[in-house]
């Protein structure tokens, strides 16, 4: 893990995000503990959580680079990571629910909505930065996700965004490969009722990227969270490793396409954290709502992380400080040179990838940490 070297910062001078394409990838419910610490030494030897140890024997505890080589080689070397609470770097969700829908809403709209506290299948009343980019800034936006609630979170009925999610076939692109993927998806047994195998999300997204070259691409992977809920630590780790391999393939693909090479920012994050130690498989509400007593929840669920790589992102490695989930929305817009907060004042400030790598001065520090 690289640290934040003063000399690196001095050499950086002032940086502004300077791409014209951006790709956001979210890895549902992937904990910072595994992202920065690799496999957990207690969990990986637990017969309750690991039924197939041969699946994960290459992910040694404490060796995050074995679990996520792309993140710890390429991103840590050429970009920015945040959220390792053992090294004074924290990223928090501010929504009290700490489940997926409110998390994606906060990530994509830039603020927590106190009325959205569950995974209820309802259209999001809030426009997201993706909707703003498509409708107000005339950017081509495409979204591929594994969870079937994504069209509601992005309110496709209102936003008109192209969102291919859940078990939907891809109907907006006609290639032989898409036709084959559509058939294969239909024939593949589902492991989870509302989440398709991530491989289809990934392959649809890569094919769309190559063929249509959108300005903004959001890819929401989902399997790790579901394996965690099923208390399968082996499958959870394996899913994380596959997520990382996909990120590497995605980055390679971007650098091989002239429209994207050296002008694309890659942002990576998650919707929520998970519990600590034996509570690793759960997540949910730990903060009190105004007027209600503090609920019983799963401490740790507010703890997330993120990563950034691209032309305007300094090669700072792990950055110290306190950050918030909602900052990614304005950061995504800023990576295209656009000010999302001018349109949505409720959104948290963009990460400032400048020589100080500090939060903008008007951003409140993250509230209430449940430290590990
Ligand atoms: Zn979950």
Q: How many structural domains compose the chain? A: 1
C-alpha of residue 226 to centroid of ligand 1, in Å: 6
C-alpha of residue 22 to centroid of ligand 1, in Å: 26
Which pLDDT belongs to residue 329?
A: 98
Tens-digit pLDDT string for the chain (372 aa):
444 443 334 333 334 456 799 999 999 999 999 999 999 999 999 999 999 999 999 999 999 999 999 999 999 999 999 999 999 999 999 999 999 999 999 999 999 999 999 999 999 999 999 999 999 999 999 999 999 999 999 999 999 999 999 999 999 999 999 999 999 999 999 999 999 999 999 999 999 999 999 999 999 999 999 999 999 999 999 999 999 999 999 999 999 999 999 999 999 999 999 999 999 999 998 666 666 666 668 999 999 999 999 998 999 999 999 999 999 999 999 999 999 999 999 999 999 875 445 433 333 333 333 333
C-alpha of residue 281 to centroid of ligand 1, in Å: 9
C-alpha of residue 363 to centroid of ligand 1, in Å: 28
C-alpha of residue 299 to centroid of ligand 1, in Å: 14
C-alpha of residue 41 to centroid of ligand 1, in Å: 22
C-alpha of residue 282 to centroid of ligand 1, in Å: 7
Query: Is 38 inside a domain boundary?
Result: yes
Which pLDDT belongs to residue 372?
A: 31
C-alpha of residue 280 to centroid of ligand 1, in Å: 11
Query: Is 76 inside a domain boundary?
Result: yes
C-alpha of residue 225 to centroid of ligand 1, in Å: 5
Query: Is 48 inside a domain boundary?
Result: no
C-alpha of residue 353 to centroid of ligand 1, in Å: 31
C-alpha of residue 227 to centroid of ligand 1, in Å: 9
Query: Is 57 inside a domain boundary?
Result: no
Which pLDDT belongs to residue 366?
A: 37
C-alpha of residue 89 to centroid of ligand 1, in Å: 23
C-alpha of residue 148 to centroid of ligand 1, in Å: 13
Query: Is 59 inside a domain boundary?
Result: no
C-alpha of residue 77 to centroid of ligand 1, in Å: 30
The 3-state secondary structure of the chain reads: CCCCCHHHHHHHCCCCCCCCEEEEEEECCCCHHHHHHEECCCHHHCCCCCCCHHHCCCCCECCHHHHCHHHHHHHHHHCEEECCHHHCEEEECCCCCCCHHHHHHHHHHCCCCCCCCCCCCCCCCCCCHHHHHHHCCCCCEEEEECECCHHHHCCHHHHCCEEEECCCCCCCCCCHHHHHHHHHHHHCCCCCCCECCHHHHHHHHHHHHHHHCCCEEEEEECHHHHHHHCCCHHHHHHHHHHHHHHHHHHHHHHHHCCCCCCCEEEEEECCCCCCCHHHCCCCCCCCCCCCCCCCCCCCCCCEECEEEECCCCCCCEECCEEEECCHHHHHHHHCCCCCHHHHCCCCCCCCCCCCCCCCCCCCCCCCCCCCC
C-alpha of residue 283 to centroid of ligand 1, in Å: 7
Query: Is 372 inside a domain boundary?
Result: no
C-alpha of residue 133 to centroid of ligand 1, in Å: 28
Domain that holds residue 263: 6-43+68-322+333-343
C-alpha of residue 289 to centroid of ligand 1, in Å: 20
CATH of the domain at 80: 3.40.720.10
Query: Is 365 inside a domain boundary?
Result: no
């Amino acid at each position: 893990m690289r640290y934040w070297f003063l000399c690196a910062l001095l050499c950086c001078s002032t940086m502004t995000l300077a791409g014209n394409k951006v790709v956001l990838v979210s890895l549902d419910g992937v904990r910072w503990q595994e992202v920065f610490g690799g496999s957990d030494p207690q969990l990986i030897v637990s017969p309750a959580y690991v039924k197939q140890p041969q699946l994960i024997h290459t992910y040694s505890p404490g060796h995050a680079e074995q679990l996520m080589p792309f993140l710890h080689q390429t991103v840590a070397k050429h970009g920015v990571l945040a959220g390792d609470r053992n090294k004074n770097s924290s990223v928090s969700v501010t929504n009290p629910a700490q489940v997926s829908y409110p998390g994606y809403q906060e990530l994509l709209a830039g603020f927590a909505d106190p009325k959205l506290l569950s995974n209820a299948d309802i259209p999001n009343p809030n426009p997201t930065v993706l909707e703003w980019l498509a409708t107000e800034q005339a950017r081509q936006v495409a979204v591929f996700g594994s969870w079937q609630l994504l069209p509601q979170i992005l309110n496709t009925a209102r936003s008109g965004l192209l969102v291919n999610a859940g078990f939907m076939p891809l109907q907006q692109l006609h290639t032989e490969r898409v036709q084959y993927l559509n058939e294969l998806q239909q024939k593949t047994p589902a492991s989870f009722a509302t989440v398709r195998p991530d491989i289809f999300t990934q392959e649809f997204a890569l094919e769309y990227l190559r063929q249509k070259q959108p300005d903004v691409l959001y890819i929401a992977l989902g399997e790790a969270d579901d394996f965690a809920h099923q208390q399968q630590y082996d499958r959870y780790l394996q899913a994380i490793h596959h997520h990382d391999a996909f990120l590497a393939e995605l980055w390679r693909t971007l650098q091989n396409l002239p429209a994207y090479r050296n002008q694309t920012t890659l942002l990576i994050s998650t919707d929520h954290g998970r519990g600590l130690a034996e509570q690793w498989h759960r997540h949910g509400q730990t903060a009190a709502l105004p007027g209600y007593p503090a609920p019983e929840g799963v401490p740790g669920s507010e703890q997330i992380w993120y990563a950034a790589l691209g032309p305007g992102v300094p090669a700072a490695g792990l950055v110290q400080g306190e950050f918030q989930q909602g900052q990614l929305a304005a950061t995504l817009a800023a990576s295209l040179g656009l000010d999302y907060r001018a349109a949505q004042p409720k959104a948290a400030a963009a990460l400032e990838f400048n020589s100080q790598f500090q939060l903008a001065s008007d951003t409140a520090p993250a509230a209430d940490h449940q430290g590990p």
